[in-house]
Amino acid sequence: MPAKRSPARRPTMKDIALRAGVSESAVSFALNDRPGVSDVTRDKVRRVAEQLGWRPSTAARQLSGEGAATVGLVLARPADTLGVDSFYLQLISGIQEVLAERQLGLLFQVVEDVAAECAVYRRWWAEHRVDGVLMVDPRVEDPRPDVLDELSLPAVIIGGAPDPGHPGLSTVWADDAAAMAAAVEKLYALGHRRIVHIAGLPGLAHTEHRIRTLRAEAERRGLVDVRSVTTDYSDAEGAAVTRRVLRSDHPPTCLVYDNDVMAVAGVAAAGDLGFSVPDEVSVVAWEDSALCRMVKPWLSALSRDTVEFGRTAARELTSLLDGGPARTVQVPVPRLIERDSTGPCGARAG
C-alpha cells in the first residue's frame, strides 16, 4: 500500500527569516512595507519570499486591518437564466482579469431578489468578507445604494445612469437610451413602422430606459404600432412572446430583443410560423456574441465591448480601494452592427 502523502505546507514568515538570515520581525517589516529595515534587507526578504512562493494570509490581513483581499458580486436574477447569458460571462471575464493583476479574489453569489442581495451585503460587511463590491442591474426603485452608503462599503454600480443622490459610489454606465434611439432611426429608415421590443426584466433601470426611449421615438414619428413586452430574458419567454406578437392581426415587421438568446429563439419561432427573416420580419439582438453568428441568418446586433466594460468597472473599484475618489465613467454607446437579419420592410407590412 503506497505511503500516505503529507499535505503541502505553506511557506511562513519563519521560513523566510531562516532562508534570509534575518529575524521574523524584520521579515514582517519588509513584507508589509513598514520602516525598521534597510532597503537592502527589504529587497532580500522580498526576493526570498518570491522564491519560496509565499503569499499573505487573508485571515492575517483581516486581523491586521489590511482588508480581505476580496471583492464581492451578487446577482439577483433567476438562476436558470444565467447559464445562457453571454453578457455576464464576458463581464466577469473582464472583472477577473483586472482583479487577478491585483491578486484580489472575487466572491460571487446568486440570490433570489434585491432584498436578499442587501442582506448579503450586510453579512459580508459584518464578517469582513469583502473590501468592496460591484453592483449590477440598477433598479428604478433601488434600495441597494442606500445600504452601501450606510455601510460605507466601497462600491461601483455597473449600468444605469449616474445617480447624484449617491456621490460616494462610483458608476460605470452605457447610454442605452442613445443606443435605442439610433436603432429606431435605422429601422425607420428601412421602412419599419411596426416594431416590437421584446425586453428583459421589468424594473431594471436599463430596461426602463430602453422602453421609454422606444416610446418617445415612436411618438416623435407618429408611430402607433410600436411597443415593448417584458420577459425574464430566457429563450422560452423570448420564443413565446415572438409567437404571440406574430400571430396578431397586425404583426410587427421588426423585433428588437434585449439579449442574444431571446433573439435566436425568436428567429426559430418566426420560422416555425412561416415568417422569413429578414424578408418578412427583421430581427435585432441587443447583445452581440458568437451566438449571433452561429445561426442563419446572422443576427444584426447592438454591440459593445463587454469584457472592457468589466475591466473598467474593476479598475474603478480598485481605485476606490486605493483611496481614490468616486467617479462616473461612461463607456461607448452600443452600436448597431447590421448583418443578414435586418432589411427593408417586408411583404407582410400592409
- Average pLDDT in the chain: 89
Strands of 328-330's sheet in order across: 105-111, 70-76, 132-136, 155-158, 170-173, 328-330
- Rounded (to 5) percent helix, strand, coil in the chain: 45, 15, 40
- At residue 122, the pLDDT reads 93
Please tell me whether residue 209 adopts helix, strand or coil conformation.
helix
Once rounded to an integer, what is the mean pLDDT over residues 220-246? 96
C-alpha 162/C-alpha 133 separation (Å) is 17
- At residue 314, the pLDDT reads 96
* pLDDT (tens digit per residue) in 42-58: 999 999 988 887 766 55
- At residue 3, the pLDDT reads 47
The DSSP element (H or E) to which 312 belongs, if any, is: helix 306-321
Q: Does residue 111 have a pLDDT over 60?
A: yes
Q: Which residue ranges form the domains of the chain, and what is each CATH number? A: 70-175+306-333 (3.40.50.2300), 176-303+336-349 (3.40.50.2300)
C-alpha 334/C-alpha 202 separation (Å) is 21
Q: Is 220 exposed, middle or buried (0-12, 13-18, 19+ CB in 10 A)?
A: exposed
- At residue 24, the pLDDT reads 85
* pLDDT (tens digit per residue) in 145-172: 999 999 999 999 998 777 777 888 999 9
- At residue 81, the pLDDT reads 66
Q: Does residue 143 have a pLDDT over 80?
A: yes
Report the Cα 36 to chain-centroid distance in Å: 44
* pLDDT (tens digit per residue) in 246-301: 999 999 999 999 999 999 999 999 999 999 999 999 999 999 999 999 999 999 99
Residues 6+ apart with CB under 8 A from 36: 25, 26, 29
Please tell me whether residue 81 adopts helix, strand or coil conformation.
helix
- At residue 5, the pLDDT reads 42
Q: Give 139's pLDDT tier (boundaries 50, 70, 90).
A: very high
Q: Does residue 318 have a pLDDT over 50?
A: yes
- At residue 7, the pLDDT reads 47
Q: What percent of the chain has pLDDT over 90?
A: 71
**Range in 80-84, 294-298, 331-335 the model is least confident about:** 80-84
**Backbone dihedral region of 335: left (phi > 0), alpha (psi from -120 to 50 degrees) or beta?**
beta
Once rounded to an integer, what is the mean pLDDT over residues 226-244? 96
Q: Do strands 170-173 and 155-158 pair parallel, antiparallel, or not at all (unpaired)?
A: parallel
Selected residue with higher pLDDT from 5 and 55: 55
Residues 6+ apart with CB under 8 A from 246: 252, 269, 270, 273, 275, 281
